[in-house]
Amino acid sequence: MRARTTHPTQEGNHAILHGPASILLHYCGVDLHARTLYLCVLDAHGKKRLHKRVRSEPTAFLEAIEPYREGLVVGVECIFCWYWLADLCASEEIPFVLGHALYMKAIHGAKAKNDQIDSHKLAVMLRGGSFPEAYVYPRGMRATRDLLRRRLFFVRKRGELFAHIRNTFHQYNLPRPAGQLLYKKNREGLVEAFSDPMIRSTLEADLALADRYDTVIRGLERRIGAEVQVHDPETFARLQTTPGVGKVLALTLLYELHDITRFGTVQRFSSYCRLVKSQHTSDGKRTGSAGGSKIGNAHLKWAFSEAAVLFLKDNPRGQAHLHRLQRRHGKGKALSILAARIGRAVYFMLNNNQDFDDERFYART
C-alpha cells in the first residue's frame, strides 16, 4: 500500500502534541455535539483563555477561536459527528487531534460530568501530552469507506430476511429450503410451500425486500469497484493474491487500513485488527484478558475471520495447516490463529509491496 504523504497519519498527530514546546501556544478542547459544541482554550501556562458554548457551525467555531489561532491545536473526542470539524481544521491549516473514545477514562470515569467539565479536561490532556489519539481518516477516501460499511449493513439485513424464511419453515416442521437463499434460483417455490395466505404474505414480503437488497447491493459494489480503480488499484489487486480474499474482502481491507505505514509494528497492526487477545497482569500475575475487547476495528476483525474460512476452500495445503494447528491448540483456537497469521501476512505484503507468498506463509509451520 502506497504511503500517502499528503494526508495526516497517527504518527503525524503524535508529533503535533509531542513536538517542541514553542510550536504550541494554545490548546483547544472541544466537547462536540450535533447542534452545539463547548470550547475550552488554555494557553501554554494552563490558564483558561476561552470557555464557552457555541453552535456546531464552521463560522461560529472560527469566530470563537480567532484570537487564539497562533500555535493552536484542536482536540476532539471521537464521536459520530467529528468529520466536519476535522475537515474544517484541515482547510484552515489548524492542527487537529482526534481522541480515542474508549481511552477517555479521565472524562468518562469522573464523578461530575458535563460539557463544561469535559471540554476543560480535553484541553488539559492536550496540554499535558496525555491525549489518547485515534487515527484521523483523511477526507479523500472516507466517504467510500463509509459506503462500503453501509453495503455490509445491507448484506446483514438481507441475511436476517433469509434467516427468518428458514425459521418459518422450521416453525411449521417443513423441510428446510435447499441451497443458499443468496441465489435467486433457490428462492423459487418457497411461497407455494404454504397454504395459509398470511404465511405466504409474510414470505412474499421477505422475498420482495431481499430482491430489493440484491439490486441495491449490486449497485453499491459497482460504484465502489469503480472508485477503487481511482484510489489504489495496485493494492486492491495485491490483496486479492491472498487465498480466501476476494473483491469484497480486498475492498474492506484496503479502505479500513488506508495506510499501512500508520502501524509501526505487526503487533500494533494485529491488535488494531482484533486478531490478538489483550492480557492484564499485576505483580507478575495474570489477572484477566476480557478488557479492551472492543478496542480496534470490528470490520477488519470480520474481514480476516471470513478470509480464514475461505482460505481453506479448495486448498488442501491450507486444510492440512489447520489440522496441525488443531492438534497443537485445539479446534476452538485453530481458526483464530489462522486468521491472525493471514493478518500478519497481509501486513508484510503491504509493507514490502509484495504479493502473497505461499512458501513464506507455511515456512513457520
CATH of the domain at 97: 3.30.420.140
Q: Is residue 288 part of a domain?
A: no
Q: What is the DSSP letter of 34?
A: S
Q: What pLDDT, on a 0 to 100 scale, did the predictor assign at position 281?
A: 75
| Amino acid 1: pLDDT | 52
Please state the pTM of the whole predicted model: 0.88
Same domain as 118, residue 208 = no
Query: Cβ contacts of residue 276 below 8 Å, gap of 6+?
Result: 267, 270, 340
Nearest to 72 by CA among 31, 29, 124: 29
Backbone dihedral region of 53: left (phi > 0), alpha (psi from -120 to 50 degrees) or beta?
A: beta
Q: Count CB-CB contacts under 10 A for residue 357.
A: 14
CA distance 147 to 164: 26
Of the candidates 144, 143, 119, 131, the one whose C-alpha atom is nearest the C-alpha of residue 64 is: 119
Reading the block at residue 160, the C-alpha cell is 436476517
Are 122 and 39 in the same domain? Answer: yes
- Tell me, yes or no, whether 117 and 161 share the same domain: no
In a domain, 221, yes or no: yes
Residue 245, domain extent: 238-282+297-362
Question: What's the rounded Cα separation, in Å, for the pair 354 and 328?
Answer: 30
Q: What is the pLDDT along the chain (365 residues), one digit of tens a residue?
A: 543 333 334 444 555 655 544 478 999 999 999 999 999 999 999 999 999 999 999 999 999 999 999 999 999 999 889 999 999 999 999 999 999 988 888 787 778 889 999 999 999 999 999 999 999 999 999 999 999 999 999 999 999 999 999 999 999 999 989 899 999 999 999 999 999 999 999 999 999 999 999 999 999 999 999 999 999 999 999 999 999 999 999 999 999 999 999 999 999 999 999 998 877 777 777 776 656 677 899 999 999 999 999 999 999 999 999 999 999 999 889 999 999 999 999 999 999 999 999 999 998 65
Q: What is the pLDDT of residue 106?
A: 76
Q: What is the pLDDT of residue 85?
A: 97
Do 194 and 275 lie in a common domain? no
Write down the pLDDT at residue 280.
75
